[in-house]
Structure 1
Amino acid sequence: MITLSDVQAARARLGANIRRTPMLKADNLSAPITDAALHLKLELLQATGSFKARGATNRLLATPKEELAHGIVTASGGNHGVAVARTGKLAGVPAHVFVPKNISPPKLEKLKRWGAEVQLVGDVFDEADKAARAYAKEIGAVYFHPFADPLVVAGQGTVALEILEDLPEVDTFLIAIGGGGLVGGMGTAIRALKPKARIIGIEPVGCPTLKASIDAGHVVTIDKITTIVPTMSCARTDERVFELVRSVVDDIVLVDDAAMIDAARWLWFEMGLAADLSGAAALAALKGGLVPVAPGETVCALVCGAGPEGIAA
């Protein structure tokens, strides 16, 4: 689907249009959760509050202006939609964002404040996605898929380039999974530049899309989604993303919603970070003992999204 050169091209294209987010060592804690050397990549401080700004902006900058004449359409559980709303503002064209009805109120408010035209459709991402695709075709707009788009995946992969520069000794990456674009993009760069590093994906118990597909050996559709986390509620991944993800990850572990809520509260209390539940997923896996680590091992957990809902949950 993509190669390291695609990720490097995305980085050059993005330039100053996104932020280089900081790394933060998790030290001086009242209640450490691991004996490993834990570092956090703070993508919750990215423009719009998540890594999604990288993929959406890369897609925008690689799209000929004439194709944007009728605007941009997307579907999202929240974070990608906000990122696309921002790209619409950057391009000076309308952004139409379809979201499921269980989108968190803070993310819905963000969408509106970025100027998106928002449609609430269905109970899960896949229903919003179907409606968004039909609408894009109807009005002749460009569709920005949140994960089944090589340019989006390559943009997300730029997170890994920054981590490897700032923390070259990293042994293990903990990366939340929604549709698989983030772990696929980052994994592509990691496998090319540090092939012996361990890559662990994290999905919710209530929507184990990639894990179920990898276990089955082919893409499967989750019949019933029970997680409360809309940004991690994708019933079916893309075939190309599936092939990419299973070629780069070492393992995928499942965390329940309560563990993500607990981890979000830990991030707020210990680090002063207001993460959404997907942003707390990597810490939930580590805190719950689902990822074995050795004392002194260098671990990078991606805090991929911001949101007060993680604290309030």
Structure 2
Amino acid sequence: MISLDDIRAAAQRIAPHIRHTPVIELTAVPDPVTEAQLFLKLENLQCTGSFKARGATNKLLSQPPGAVSKGIVTASGGNHGLAVARAARSAGVPATVYVTESATEEKREKLRRSGAEVKVLGKIWNEANEAALEQAERTGAAYFHPFADPMVVAGQGTVALEFLDAVPNLDTVIVAIGGGGLISGMSVALKALNPAIRIIGIEPEGSPTLKASLDAGRVVRLESVTSKVATMSCGETDPGVFALVRDNVDEIVLISDAEMEDAAAWLWFELGIAADLSGASAIAALRSGKISLPADARAGALVCGAGLDGVAL
């Protein structure tokens, strides 16, 4: 699907249009989540509040002239929609974002304020996506897929380049999974630059999309999605994404929605970081013991999205 060269090209392309987000070492907390050194990359401070701005921007800047003249349409759990709305605004065209019923009201309101037309449809992303594809076909609008698009995946992979620049000797990286675009893009860069690095994915217990596919040896459609975390819920991944994850990701662990809620509250209380539940997933996996790191490990994790989940709690 993509290579390290594609990710490096994306990094150059999007550099003037996104933020180089900070990395902090998690220290001076009374209740450490691990004995290892843990570095957090704060993509919650990225434009639109998540890493998704990288992929949507790379997709927009890769389009031929006039490709988005009739607007942009997508389906999203919230964060990709915000990134697409920003891309559409910069191109001076309308955006339509289909979101699932589980998308938080906070994300919906941010989408409206960003100028997007918001349409709520379906219990899972795949249902909302079918409607988005139909509208794109009917109207001629450009369709921006949140994960099954090489330009989007390459854009997300730029997170890994920045992370390794900041902490060159990371030995483990923990990444949240929704449809798989982030972890597939990052894994290509991480393994190309350090084949020995350990990559751990995190999925909700109620949406084990990639883990179920890896266990089956092929892409499978989940019979049901019960997680309420819209940004990490997807009934079926893409074959290209699946292949990258199969080849590069070492392990996938499952965590509960409640564990993510607890972690989001912890991030807000201890660090003043307002993370959505996906952004708290790495901390959730560590606090719950689903991921155990040796004391001498140097691990990296993303706070991949902003939100008020922990603040509300």
Q: Deviations over 1:247-298 (max 9, x none)?
A: 1100000000111011111111111100000000111111111122111311
Residue number in structure 1 paired with 2:68: 68
Q: What TM-score do you get using the length of structure 2 for normalisation?
A: 0.99
RMSD in angstroms over aligned alpha carbons? 0.8
The residue type equivalent to 1:285 in the other structure is: A
Residue number in structure 1 paired with 2:187: 187
> Could you tell me whether the CA contact under 8 Å between 2:266 and 2:310 is conserved in 1?
no
CA distance in structure 2 between the partners assigned to 1:312 and 1:233 by the alignment: 21
CA distance in structure 2 between the partners assigned to 1:62 and 1:204 by the alignment: 32
CA distance in structure 1 between the partners assigned to 2:78 and 2:55 by the alignment: 14
Unpaired runs of 5+ residues, structure 2, are none
Deviation at 1:15, TM superposition (A): 1.6
CA distance in structure 1 between the partners assigned to 2:39 and 2:272 by the alignment: 15
> Which shows bigger deviation, 291-300 or 169-178?
291-300
> Could you tell me whether the CA contact under 8 Å between 1:261 and 1:311 is conserved in 2?
no
CA distance in structure 1 between the partners assigned to 2:68 and 2:81 by the alignment: 17
CA distance in structure 1 between the partners assigned to 2:245 and 2:143 by the alignment: 23
Matched, 1:238 2:238: yes
> Could you tell me whether the CA contact under 8 Å between 1:265 and 1:310 is conserved in 2?
yes
The runs of 4+ residues in structure 1 deviating greater than 4 Å are none
CA distance in structure 2 between the partners assigned to 1:65 and 1:131 by the alignment: 26
CA distance in structure 1 between the partners assigned to 2:89 and 2:69 by the alignment: 13
1:238-277 matched pairs, under 5 angstroms = 238-277=238-277
* SS of residue in 1 equivalent to 2:210: helix
Matched, 1:210 2:172: no
Give the number of equivalent residue pairs: 313
The residue type equivalent to 2:29 in the other structure is: L
Deviation at 1:300, TM superposition (A): 0.6
Q: What TM-score do you get using the length of structure 1 for normalisation?
A: 0.99
Residue number in structure 2 paired with 1:110: 110
Residue number in structure 2 paired with 1:32: 32
Identity, % of aligned positions: 58
Deviation at 1:16, TM superposition (A): 1.5
> Could you tell me whether the CA contact under 8 Å between 1:43 and 1:303 is conserved in 2?
yes
The residue type equivalent to 2:20 in the other structure is: R
Deviation at 1:235, TM superposition (A): 0.3
CA distance in structure 2 between the partners assigned to 1:183 and 1:312 by the alignment: 28
Residue number in structure 2 paired with 1:133: 133
* SS of residue in 2 equivalent to 1:67: coil
Matched, 1:95 2:95: yes
Residue number in structure 1 paired with 2:303: 303
Unpaired runs of 5+ residues, structure 1, are none
Deviation at 1:310, TM superposition (A): 3.5
The residue type equivalent to 1:4 in the other structure is: L
The residue type equivalent to 1:281 in the other structure is: S
> Could you tell me whether the CA contact under 8 Å between 1:74 and 1:144 is conserved in 2?
yes
* SS of residue in 1 equivalent to 2:153: helix
The residue type equivalent to 2:131 in the other structure is: A
* SS of residue in 1 equivalent to 2:39: strand
Deviation at 1:65, TM superposition (A): 2.7
